[in-house]
Structure 1
């Protein structure tokens, strides 16, 4: 239960702050409306930092991400019997975090039409240029870099390491993330996308599920490649 609780609340905080940032930037009549890419990347980085701190304190390893949990298990870095509790915590926590964003920004959703910024992109990722193969490769490359760095940080829930993880997310976003919005994390994309689909969000547009295979498969492939390389060079 410690693993589930840590991953649930850590991922909830991650999505509450991260998707909250996206809502703040994209919806009308916010003080941060129209803020730039650096604001987005730094906010998501700090969202991950805070999520990892919460998860670690509550007894999990602070994965917050199936693209960490599953590849780590495949390569013997994480016990298989904990995989399902971790995944359940990640996906459920991400959904609750997204639901809280709907409540927090409900008045702003109500005054923002789809053509003015009210889109699934607040909750999930979308490509800057729709090119499915290259969108997939973008997620593979970005997640590979992220997971490979994580593997060389050791226990990333202790000391200032969660802050370093946040810096990694920020620089991945600025350096590699502007092509697809850098999902890096299937739970971060699918659960908020599902929340946007089923919750009564005012003025909402399509959830764009036809694209959702990219932020699911790309990060998992990138994580597996990173763990495979680490196992060969370590």
Structure 2
């Protein structure tokens, strides 16, 4: 007998898809913002820092509603995108967007702390040898902050897997389209006899979260050892 029903597998597969895309698409801007906050001084720096961490403070439902107002088909951003055939509201892509925004503060914070731990004199020494800033970042800074990037990515992935409030507000709970693991658990708990399905999905959630954390620990240690021995 299969452990999960087709409907349950569908929710698991969609959650993994959403979490993976949310994490991958968050990495480039996350690294850039973390570096800017850690190394640069510019007007509005504290405002940017506040905006980055705002999803951690706001209720997730508020974040989801703001996303709906902004990226809905009548929103200031969503309307032009809809004319180009790009729609986020009530689509799995919207679930990925919501998950990415909710996990972005965790990603940026982990990477920023890693960057701040790097001795700036190492970067300055490379700069005095004629290397460009981009080359210094790619050859000196980036290898040293890889454990922080990995830790931030794992945290963002785990947050994306468990995101519920912003997702259900922005993209609803549509089976096969936006019903992720948390939404499926909620839906099963609302119907008689659905407790068994909800419990199975809870078990899957715990297994995935623990596997992600263990993988993060193993890879972080290997990367740190490799960087330290370089």
- In the superposition, the TM-score normalised over structure 2's length comes to 0.28
Structure with higher Rg: it is 2
- In the superposition, the TM-score normalised over structure 1's length comes to 0.28
Q: Which has the higher helix share?
A: 2
